[in-house]
Structure formats: structure tokens, C-alpha cells
Structure 1
Amino acid sequence: MALSNNTRGALLMTLSMAGFTCNDALSKAVSPLMNVGQLMLVRGLFTSILVFLVARHLGALGHVRMLKDPMIGLRVLFETLAAVTFLSALGSMPLANISSILQSLPLAVTLGAALFLGEPVGWRRWLAIGIGFVGVLIIIRPGPDGFTLSSLYVLLSVFFAAARDLVTKKVDPATSSLAITLCTATGVTIAGAILTPVLGGWTPLSGATWAVMVLTSLLIFVGYQGIIMAMRTGEISFIAPFRYTSLLWAVALGMLFFGEVPDVWMATGASVVIGSGLYAFYREKKRREEAARLEVKGPVV
């Protein structure tokens, strides 16, 4: 039986989240062996090579001339800052906690779109955004007993990732996704090369660690391409909530490989964030349906 576009899109989104989260787990495992700059450099280098080969095979390198768009340069900057802050937190914070805070990204993008792009946001979605960020506060527990520098790094990572997604909306739609990914991966690699000596220099790696880094690059590629294919396959309002499956992967991997047991604060905060995000997706779907209905109805004459 053939799968519907929405079902295929949901499966692709789930695969994408699995790729990203498994990459995070592997990066966390090797983070004690090298500094953040070296991790960005090695992982970014393998990712750049892989994306280049695929883009060349598919004939997407012709779009490279379009990468002079300043919006792409700005996107690379925000992606690099998001990577630095995220990886800085990864080694010293439970994987599930990091993933829980990252679930606020769609809410942050909605907030940014309303403030900087002038997109309409009704009071219900404003309420959902506010409640969602309360959920983030529950997770990080501001105060001497809960808040850490790593929590700040993750919050900054959400901010930079939201800025990256907003800037992406301004990129010429004719530019190939693979070309943008190649430019981004190359930019992160260069940033890693600059940061490596600043953060302590190069650390020799074993063969097993090199193999892990190759695998992380493959997983990143799966994640990026999976999410692009998912968004182009089915309805965004149906597919987007499957982003939250990354939290299930993070909890499972954290417990299995790092002995991290989620506490009640994380579980409560994550539930608030995800519930708010799902409601925001629902309201966005209703808004689009209403706009489409009015468009079909047409003006009164």
C-alpha cells in the first residue's frame, strides 16, 4: 500500500531527528577528547566533503555563484555561533535537558518572525510562546541550585538557530539547498580551524575517534537532507510536530549510553514546551486554513 505524502513526510522528519540526535550523542561521547574548535573542524570537514560530492553528482554546484547573497553569509555566521554555543554545552549537560530546551526553537522562530519580519501572530500564539518559555525556565531552574553556564550556552544556541532560520527565509528560493548546506558546512569548518589553536590546540585522535567523526558527518547529512525532503513532501502543519521525536531519542540515548536519568523538572518543563509548540502549530494551521478560505471566497462585489 502506497504511503501518503504526509506519512512519508512524517517518516522523513522522524529520520531526520534521529540523525541529528544520534550525532549529538556521538559528539558528546568524543567531546572530552578534543576542544570545541577541533570538533567543529573535523566534523565540518567530513560533512563538507560529503555534501560536495553529493552536490557535484546532482549538478547542484552551479548554484554556488548565487552564494554571494549576503543573507547566506549571515546564515553561515548564525549557524557557526549556534554550533559553538551548542557544542560548548554538550559535554557538561544531560542530552535530554539540552534537547528539551531546543524544543523551544519553533516558538523562538515564531517570535522572531513576528518581531522582525512582520508576520501576523494572534494573541493565542503569543500566549503559547510565553508559556513555552516558562517551560524552558522550569528546565534550567534559574538560581544557584539549577542554572549553569551550560544552560546559558543552550539558550544562546536557540537564539542563534532561530536567527539562522529567519535569515534563511530571505535567501533566494532558487538557490539549491545542497549549495547552501555546502556553504554552511564550509563556514563552520573554517571557524573550527580558527578556534582550535585558541581553545588549546590540536589533540591527536585515535582511529576509533576518526571513525566516530566520519559517522557524525553522515548523520548530520541525513538530518539536513531528511528535514528538507520532509518539508517538501507533505503539509508543514502535519509534519512539523514530528520534530519533537528528537526528545524521545535524546532521553533514550542519554539513559543507555551516559546513565542520564531525566528529573521531574526536565520532564515537566519539556511537557510545557512541547504542549505550547503543538498548540502554536495548531493555531498556525487554523490561520492558514482561514486565509485560504477567504482567498477562495474572494472579495465581495
Structure 2
Amino acid sequence: MSEKVKESLLLGSIFLVLAFLANTIQSVFGKFLEAQLSVEMFTWVTFVSALIILIPIVAVRRFKDLKTEVIRTHLVRGGTGIAGFLLFIAAAQLTSLVNANVLLNTTPIFIPILALIFLKTRINRQLWIAIGLGFAGMVIIVKPDATILTNPGNILGLAAGFVTAIEFLAVKKLDETDSPITQMFYFLLIGSILSTVLVLGKLQPINHEQALIMLATGGCLVCFQFLLIKAYTYAKPHEIGAFQYSSVVFAALLGWIIFKEQLDLGTIIGTLLVCAGGILSISKITEEKNS
């Protein structure tokens, strides 16, 4: 059972911003290796590297973090987590860092929809407006036309946002029972097993430089997961989800500095609409909670 901590929107927000900084850096590494390694190979080495980094920490703690009574929730979290990772890295390789991060950050918009479908929660008028704004932003960014089939990076980024919404809800559920290290261990273990299955027949040799980048990527994954879990121990996903959009700023800066990516007007307008939709949905849920 995880220890109860005092809720703090400030601490939760800080941890979430740092988490998505690590996540954005991780996507930069993926873009560096896009022409060298397949998405499956990149994912497999990243998860295995992260698990190798975590195992000594678990061992020092005498493996007491391995006990859990909610393995099904871990499986849901692990399955959606590996799916979101694969989709996000593939999107980052096929489209710009900004587009991939904006579409990944549609999770606050998907959460009310998931609540409607699975929890039968009523969606009021303001939330429908928020969802509509976010959808309009996605359409502007993705620019759906006949060419989308030849470059599906934006659709993959949108799919990453959807499955990540499910993952984040599972993380909050796990915070009720398991410690951050317990959650990280099972997430990385499940991710390593699933990615091993996916990479069969697609193994590639990696050189020294690639190995160092992959080790750094594994470190980013460990940091992202730890900071994400810590953020949700201090605040609920819908309360601080707006700070997830900080990754769009990080992606724009890193994409401009490292990959010389340019921002067009459509991407800027779409980003603002997605952010507005997410913030509006978050503010409405928080308002209902406090009323």
C-alpha cells in the first residue's frame, strides 16, 4: 500500500512539467535514430535499458517493492503504456516534434469521453465545447486529405494521445495501492516482455554511439515514469493535466534548435485550440469538484 501524501497542485504541476521534459527529450533521441533503427527495435532497447537501470534500485531495497495485489491494473497500464510509447515514437519519426507532442497531449480531451463510455459519466455543455475546440485543433494540425495515407505520423500521434489517457487513469488508480517503484518495475517488466515479442524477427545490430543514445533514452523513460507517478500522488490527472502542454513548448524549442523545424500558422492555431480545449475541460471538472 502506497503512503498517503498531502495533495499539492504546485508539487504535482512541477513534477508533471519535469516528466514531460524528460518525455520530449526521449522523442528527440527517437528522431535522431529514425533512419537507423526500427520503432520496434528502438522501443525494445529503451524498455530493456530502463529495466536494467531500475533493477539495482529494487535490489538495494531487498525486492520489497515486488509485492502487489492489483496485477490486472498493472497489465492494463503496461499494455496501454507500451502502445502509447510505440505510437508516440513512430509519430515523432514520421512528423515534426511539435505535431507529435501536440497530438499526444490530447489526453485531457479524451478523459471526459472515456468517462462517458466506461463510467457513464454525463458530459455537460461546457465539456462538449472543450472537446469540440480540441477536435478542431487536431483537424487543423493533421490537415486530413488524400496525402495522410502516405504520411500517417499525425494519426499515430492522435492514437498515442488516446491510449495514453487510459494509461494515466490507470496510474492514478495504482497510486492508491502501490509505490512509485512498484509501478515502475511492473510497467518496465511488462513493457520489456511485450516489446521483446514485437521485435522478434526485426533485431538489428547497434553500434557504440547508438547504444549510448539508447541507454540515455532508457534513463529518460525511468525519469518520465517516476516523475509522472509522483505528480499524480500529489494531484489528480484532470487537476494538473494542462501542464502537460509544456511539452509542446519543449518540442518547439528542441525541434527548432536541433532539427531546424519551422512552425507554420496552422500548427500554431491548432496548438492553441487543443490547449484551450484541454484547459477548458480541466477547469470545468475542477469547478464541479469544488462546488
Same fold flag (TM > 0.5): yes
Could you tell me which residue of structure 2 aligns to residue 282 of structure 1? 283
Could you tell me which residue of structure 2 aligns to residue 44 of structure 1? 47
1:222 equivalenced with 2:219 (yes/no)? no
Instruction: Give distance in 2, aligned partners of 1:5 and 1:165.
Output: 18
1:75 equivalenced with 2:77 (yes/no)? yes
**Structure 1 residues 226 and 191: alpha-carbon distance in aligned structure 2, compared to 1, 3 A threshold:** same
**Greater Rg over alpha carbons, structure:** 1
Q: Mind listing any 5+ residue stretches in structure 1 that lack a counterpart?
A: 291-301
Once the two structures are TM-superposed, the CA of residue 169 in structure 1 deviates from its matched residue by 5.2
CA contact (8 A) 1:139 1:265 kept: yes
Could you tell me which residue of structure 1 aligns to residue 14 of structure 2? 11
Could you tell me which residue of structure 2 aligns to residue 182 of structure 1? 185
Residue aligned with 1:173, SS: coil
Could you tell me which residue of structure 2 aligns to residue 297 of structure 1? none
Aligned pairs (5 A) from 1:84-233: 84-145=86-147, 148-168=151-171, 171=174, 173-198=176-201, 201-233=202-234
Number of aligned pairs? Answer: 284
TM-score normalised by structure 1 residue count: 0.85
**Structure 1 residues 170 and 6: alpha-carbon distance in aligned structure 2, compared to 1, 3 A threshold:** closer
Which deviates further from its counterpart, 95-104 or 153-162?
A: 153-162
Instruction: Give distance in 2, aligned partners of 1:17 and 1:283.
Output: 23
Aligned letter for 1:104? T
Once the two structures are TM-superposed, the CA of residue 24 in structure 1 deviates from its matched residue by 0.9
How big is each residue's C-alpha offset from its partner over 1:102-140, in whole Å with a ceiling of 9 and x where there is no partner? Answer: 121111122102221233432211221122112111110
Instruction: Give distance in 2, aligned partners of 1:145 and 1:34.
Output: 25
Once the two structures are TM-superposed, the CA of residue 41 in structure 1 deviates from its matched residue by 1.3
CA contact (8 A) 1:36 1:196 kept: no
Instruction: Give distance in 2, aligned partners of 1:239 and 1:172.
Output: 16
TM-score normalised by structure 2 residue count: 0.88
How big is each residue's C-alpha offset from its partner over 1:21-77, in whole Å with a ceiling of 9 and x where there is no partner? Answer: 011111211122111221111111111122233334346x43434266323222222
CA contact (8 A) 1:128 1:276 kept: yes
Instruction: Give distance in 2, aligned partners of 1:245 and 1:169.
Output: 20
Could you tell me which residue of structure 1 aligns to residue 4 of structure 2? none
Residue aligned with 2:204, SS: coil
Instruction: Give distance in 2, aligned partners of 1:62 and 1:119.
Output: 38
How big is each residue's C-alpha offset from its partner over 1:155-199, in whole Å with a ceiling of 9 and x where there is no partner? Answer: 22222222323444555821223222211212222222222234x
Once the two structures are TM-superposed, the CA of residue 100 in structure 1 deviates from its matched residue by 1.0
CA contact (8 A) 1:9 1:233 kept: yes
Instruction: Give distance in 1, aligned partners of 2:168 and 2:274.
Output: 19
Residue aligned with 1:242, SS: helix
RMSD between aligned alpha carbons?
A: 2.4
CA contact (8 A) 1:109 1:165 kept: no
Instruction: Give distance in 2, aligned partners of 1:271 and 1:167.
Output: 28
Aligned letter for 2:197? I
1:247 equivalenced with 2:248 (yes/no)? yes
CA contact (8 A) 1:37 1:194 kept: no
Residue aligned with 2:33, SS: helix
Residue aligned with 2:167, SS: helix
**Structure 1 residues 42 and 272: alpha-carbon distance in aligned structure 2, compared to 1, 3 A threshold:** same
Aligned letter for 2:82? T
Could you tell me which residue of structure 2 aligns to residue 271 of structure 1? 272
